Amino acid sequence: MGDGQALAQLDKQSGQLSELAPSPPASWSRQLGEAFYWVDGPQTGLASSNLLRARLPELEPEVVHQIQGGVFDVGPGYVLWRQGVVEDERLAVLGQNFVLLNEATGCVQEIPGIGETISFRPALDATYAYWQRSVAGYAGDSPALPLTPLYRTNLREGTTELLETPGLSLELGSWIVGQDQDEIFIATESGLVAIAKP
């Protein structure tokens, strides 16, 4: 669904589709279980926004926290957003790090960064955020595409490590599409690949 369109709910037994009203913005919201999350501010830049949450079936919005920017992700029991430095609003935010909100305690924790720009949609589990280096706005003249290696950040310990992918070079145009308990799935120019979690 595009911007401005409402979310709809599919009844599994009847196959009937019904629009959810009120509805979070379809293209900007994230869902975890019966809760939807979205922000009320701009989707670009680093301006502060209210992170909102609404639960099915009522979908009454409540403010969860104020975050920097509009890019966030939701994991089991937590919300992650990014902070960093903008040299030029038309380009990517540089040297980002995650900020974690523990939903059970309400505590916010900054997780140290490693000087990279974080990809748009990481894969999140209870302990780790798996992400790639973002090279948004790349306009280089080199025939070789820039690399977008895979990292994982331990959300409890605050450490980040580069994950080795022997025989696989992750370049601009590859992106994380999902995960299961054992693997991260990445779309590449050659097709879908599965990378074992360490």
pLDDT reported for residue 142: 61
Do 66 and 81 lie in one domain? The reply is no
Tell how far CA 80 is from the center of its chain: 8
The answer to whether residue 34 sits within a structural domain is: yes
Q: What is the per-residue pLDDT for 160?
A: 97
Do both 59 and 3 map to the same domain?
A: yes
* 175 part of a folded domain: no
CA angle 115, 119, 120 (to 5 degrees): 135
Same domain, 6 and 65: yes
Whether 188 is in a domain gets the answer no
Task: Specify the higher pLDDT residue, 68 or 37.
Answer: 37
Pair 40, 83 in one domain: no
Does one domain contain both 55 and 81?
Answer: no
Domain range enclosing 90: 75-164
pTM: 0.82
Q: 125 or 119, which is more confident?
A: 125
Whether 24 and 83 map to the same domain: the answer is no
